[in-house]
Structure 1
């Protein structure tokens, strides 16, 4: 009980102390209850306005944020003008912190450093001595080591500040005065641009060329009604200190007209040929605000990770004379392809997003277009010239007033001397002169302070000449103030002088058209490819060099690792950039370029095509048509397994959606299997599994829409089905190549097949026996064709042989062995490849396989 009482007393004592502390902090009558949401809103708005007005956004008139304005003003005040010497940066930072900018010293120093960096500022405002950082992201040396002074061009920003041109306000402690804006003869906001993140808004203004800005200001001041398009005749676009290339005048125009917009900026590069057939890419300029060291590191990372192949070395040879990054390429690499990859995956290409927000009337953030920014600058300069003229007029009148008094004194020198001598004190002499000669207080003081040497004749003449000069100046200044056109003319003359002193050539090139979007297609060379589709719908692409030509009757080489009981279904020849049309068993069609297919080796399985096309359940691809750049024939002829054919205009297949289109309406238990291009005058030949074929005119099948069923092409028995449909172009010289399941095949002249009416049972095309097996495929060969036949077996064996090695035989023959089959293996599909690329033979097969592996790595 005693312990509990002690605990209670201790707790009571602590509570009493808390109450006493609270009463001391908040005495009676001094506590103001507040709603926390209202207090948070008010406090946050005050904070936001402080950041917007006092830190993050530039003034539209002089283009400076407060910290930059304070640095330049402080440097001017302590005599660090361009004509003077350097002083330690620490002295400048200390001056700024002590008098004007009550924030961190690093913020002030970093701001001063940036104004001295020629890769950050188009026209530097501070001249630095020592290490002021680099484009590689190196930090500047500590402020105790570096020195600084103002640049010559900065003198133009501060000129006339001592002539009552700008308003001053108390600094943070009320002990000093700082300018609210600088006189600024230069359109600094556009000249060097500005970036800043405030609260709820941000600004991003690119730098521009001084000469172009002056020309635009001249035009606008003379033609106030001109449009932004007119101003763009002078201002071509941003002009970055690091150079580079800006694409699309339309993007620039949109940004200038709205104050907001993005533009693509690319590095300036050259592709040079070196000895031994090798190439190199040389980078001489990079986009604005890109860290060169990080850029080179990113390139090296992409090469190391094998995301970009073909680069043998990257060297940074940049020096004080400029940027020079050399990218050495391997032999037989594709320079343009690699450059496109670098543009896509590195900051060799970047975007600059313009957002021209600046403070208007000192406190109001506005989104401004190009013309508005220039108009605000012109208005500012008019005010500056007017105030400067008023100040000069005031000074001139004051001096003329004194000179008039001195002239009166000289004209009455004896009386003046007598009056002064009679006066017992200086004060009485001062009063006496005012009364006797009707002088002002200032004139009387000037006479009393006049030296005796002024009484000399030449000195008297000087006073009279100076008075005449001042009177003429007064007349001139009053004339300026009375005529706005004269003020405008003075502004134009001053701009012309500034242009003559500081203008230089444009660094950033502007390309009128937009940069082509870099797609995967741009990064892949347009090489020949064989596309293979298995019956289970696994697809891949390989270079034709993966398969060497063999003699007739060989067993072939492995062409694909398929799933259990899978087999090769379709083989198509094309190039990486060509579009393929994929027709499915359900009568639908899809479009996909070759380069979108997975690249594989002869022994790889490929990728399930359902991952590439939006196929439905139990839907699979049965036919692939190489459309090339575009379909060149008039119609597409579609054939089904049960012998139906349909002819549809190719125009119906030009815009194939990702979700697919209907190619043919199918009857029950039928499927789309073949698609060929055809034109008027062609003939069609259909071959069945049991060795039947029919030849008929193309115009026997009338054109139909995509959603129609079609008509009968050949009449087949219940145990038979169509295995091939082909188009005959040369009716006299073409041959029909027939290949059977067990590897036998032959060629027969199409003249041996009489033309029949569509829908008949046809004639015999091969002598089908257990030795031959059923017909697996057929191809039409034109006269003198130089092509290779690729035969793929169900277990993935592939043979490639020249068609000239295949003998010609009659229709009802068995043919000869084209490929010796392994036990329990049969032919799955056949394909023809015209010999555009020489086939690899013998030992070159190993090299071809190696190239395929490289291509696989490159695609990854």
Structure 2
């Protein structure tokens, strides 16, 4: 077999499969499915937010068409399918998916019933106010900028976020060989816990749990039982049971109805209702006569009408057992730390976020210091010029070219190139007395600022205090009440939970038969008035004990 100009390399298929699959799985783990522990975002989410901020669709500006935003992100940063970008953006705008939505959507962005959002040519979006805090200081060299896919632009490798996004919004993703499922939390509690850690880095996880309490889901509900929550915070894994919030109403006719006000996180309401209807039709659940969805813009309301003699509690327990009215959230805190997946407990998550903020603040201070020193340098030159203004004017007038003027000034006053250029480009109005006072005042302010910035860089305590102050600012601005209640003590279902609590008549007959009859039924007269129901026996048998 001759191959002209071709070179065929024989490769062991087993080796090739192994190395290719490892490459693929690493790529999914690192640049698709798992969030970065520092800003809590996956690459596609980070690119959407960065793309939107570059387009200028911030919270105060008018909305822009989603297709426009998706095109921007696709063309510049995320060379994959347009639906992957649009769906990532849609999820960040859904108040039932994210505890603190990051995108402000206008139009149909889907619903808790699992309806799909409108196509991107119909919807519009802009950033939420809270998102601007995740992008703050991006222009101050706070994070590493990396080349985009064709190396024509730069994009951030992580956002300098002030908001602990991974803790407050959680994350879920399926990679290859691993998955992540992190619950959302309340912002105020989370920030309180982070501040407690800053005050005492040796704080125990149990003390942190007292502050952060438990996850806080956007859809509310009740966390039922606390052992799973504790385990998740200590180890990074645990099972958290979430129940719907329900109440019982009585109709004027004396019938009871179960009302469901909140359902567990990530449960599809329409599917839940059709599942209950199926169970009723299949006779798996009795006691329900009708089910109706009366939800509207003021809130969720699923009405379950009960039959005349049904006991609300028993029906509710049966529903909790057999439907998604009660579900469990399997916590699996896996996030990327330094580009590698790691299982993290609560304290790890807080520590790594604080380290990221510390890094951002150090880099920001260095950037501001350099800018301040550059400005002070120019001001020094301008102040020298304004002190010898007549001589400066004479030198400039006597020079043939701006270049020559610059060199003459450098020689006479031993200035630097930058200072001389600033003097040559000075405006005439800067010669007035008022402007000269301004120069001196600005110089004094800048020297104070430089002093302050140097203090920050010299003191870890000062930097930690800044992290804390900025977090408390965020807390004051966005704090809200918990949506999810916690029931600390809970057991698994007992068999008794599925039976009504009512009075019974127990009869034992002479031949040893035993019988249980509800008291209410025992007193019912049979047709024809032949004695009451409870005491019918076999021939030659009679009741002995009752």
Which category describes the TM-score, using the shorter chain as reference length?
Answer: over 0.9
Q: 2:497 aligns with which of 516, 519, 522?
A: 522
Distance 1:71 1:539 in 2: 71
Residue correspondence of structure 1 range 206-605 to structure 2 within 5 A: 206-361=183-338, 363-514=339-490, 516-526=491-501, 528=504, 545=521
Aligned partner of 2:172 among 195, 212, 220: 195
- Tell me how far 1:521 sits from its aligned partner: 3.7
> In structure 2, how many angstroms separate the alpha carbons of the residues matched to 1:194 and 1:833?
63
Alpha-carbon offset, residue 151 of structure 1:
0.4
Q: Helix, strand or coil for the counterpart of 1:233?
A: helix
Residue 263 of structure 1: how far off its partner (Å): 1.1
Q: Name the residue aligned to 2:62.
A: 85
Q: Secondary structure at the match of 2:265?
A: coil
* Alignment check: 8 A CA contact 2:508 2:545 kept: no
Q: Name the CA distance, whole Å, in 1 between partners of 2:41 and 2:170.
A: 9
- Counterpart in 1 of 2:106? 129
> Which structure 2 residues correspond to residues 13-24 of structure 1 after superposition, within 5 A?
23=3
Q: Which runs of 5+ in 2 are unaligned?
A: none
Change (3 A) 1:45 1:540: farther
**Contact 2:507–2:545 (Cα < 8 Å) also in 1:** no
Helix, strand or coil at the partner of 2:241? strand
The Cα offsets for residues 622-677 of structure 1, whole Å up to 9 and x where unpaired, read as xxxxxxxxxxxxxxxxxxxxxxxxxxxxxxxxxxxxxxxxxxxxxxxxxxxxxxxx
Q: Is the 8 A contact 1:121 1:241 kept in 2?
A: yes
Structure-2 residue corresponding to 1:721? none
Secondary structure in 2 aligned to 1:232?
Answer: helix
- Structure number with the higher strand fraction is 1
Does the residue aligned with 2:447 lie in a helix, a strand or coil? Answer: helix
For 1:147 and 1:539, how far apart are their aligned partners in 2? 71
| Matched-pair contact (CA < 8 Å) for 2:506–2:514 | no
Aligned to 1:599: none
Determine the C-alpha separation between the residues in 2 that align with 1:247 and 1:549.
Answer: 45
Shift of 1:249: 2.1
Task: Report the CA distance shift for 1:435/1:303 in structure 2 as closer, same or farther (over 3 A).
Answer: same
Q: Give runs of aligned pairs for residues 612-623 of structure 1, distance below 5 A.
A: none
Structure 1 residues 789 and 346 mapped into 2: Cα distance closer, same or farther (>3 Å)? closer
Q: Could you say which residue in structure 2 is the equivalent of 1:76?
A: 53
Alpha carbons 2:221, 2:484 under 8 Å: kept: yes
Alignment partner for residue 22 of structure 2, among 40, 45, 53?
A: 45
Q: Is the 8 A contact 2:134 2:163 kept in 1?
A: yes
1:272 to partner: Cα distance = 2.2
Cα deviation 1:146-205 (Å, max 9, x = unaligned) = 011100000000000000000011111111111000000011001100000011110000
Distance 1:66 1:548 in 2: 70
Matched residues in 1 for 2:83 and 2:241: separation? 33
Quick one: higher RCO (CA 8 Å, sep 6+), 1 or 2?
A: 2
| Rounded Cα–Cα distance in structure 1 between residues aligned with 2:474 and 2:544 | 73
> Moved runs in structure 1, 4+ residues, more than 3 A?
526-533, 538-550, 788-791, 829-833
CA distance in 1, matches of 2:458, 2:240: 45
**Larger C-alpha radius of gyration, 1 or 2?**
1
Is the 1:61–1:377 contact (alpha carbons within 8 Å) kept by the matching residues of 2? yes
Determine helix, strand or coil for the equivalent of 1:323.
coil
Contact 1:532 1:541 in 2 (8 A): no
Pair 486,421 (structure 1): closer, same or farther in 2 beyond 3 Å? same
TM-score (norm 2): 0.94
Say yes or no: does 1:175 pair with 2:152: yes
- In structure 1, what is the Cα distance between the partners aligned to 2:365 and 2:543? 90
Structure 2 distance, partners of 1:196, 1:539, is 57
**1:461-499 alpha-carbon deviations (Å, 9 max, x no partner):** 111111111001000110111111111111111111100
Is the contact between residue 25 and residue 175 of structure 2 (CA under 8 Å) also seen in structure 1? yes
Give the Å deviation of 1:519: 4.7
> In 2 relative to 1, CA 291–832 (structure 1 residues): closer, same or farther, beyond 3 Å?
farther
Aligned counterparts of 1:338 and 1:549: Cα–Cα separation in 2 = 29
Deviation of 1:31 after TM superposition, in Å, equals 2.5
SS at match of 1:276: coil
Give 1:524 shift.
2.8
Report the secondary structure of 1:351's partner residue: strand
CA contact under 8 A between 1:789 and 1:833: conserved in structure 2? no
Match of 2:138 in 1: 161
Equivalent residue number for residue 10 of structure 1: none
Match for residue 93 of structure 2 among 116, 127, 152:
116
Q: Would you say 1:140 and 2:117 are equivalent positions?
A: yes
Shift of residue 833, structure 1, vs aligned partner: 5.3
Q: Which has the higher helix share?
A: 2
Unaligned ranges ≥5, structure 1:
1-18, 558-601, 603-787, 793-818, 820-826, 835-860
Is contact 1:281-1:328 (8 Å) kept? yes
Contact 1:529 1:541 in 2 (8 A): yes
| Residues 810-855 of structure 1, C-alpha deviations (whole Å, 9 max, x = no match) | xxxxxxxxx5xxxxxxx5x665452xxxxxxxxxxxxxxxxxxxxx
How far is 1:438 from its partner?
1.3
What secondary structure, in the 3-state scheme, does the structure 2 residue paired with 1:471 have? helix
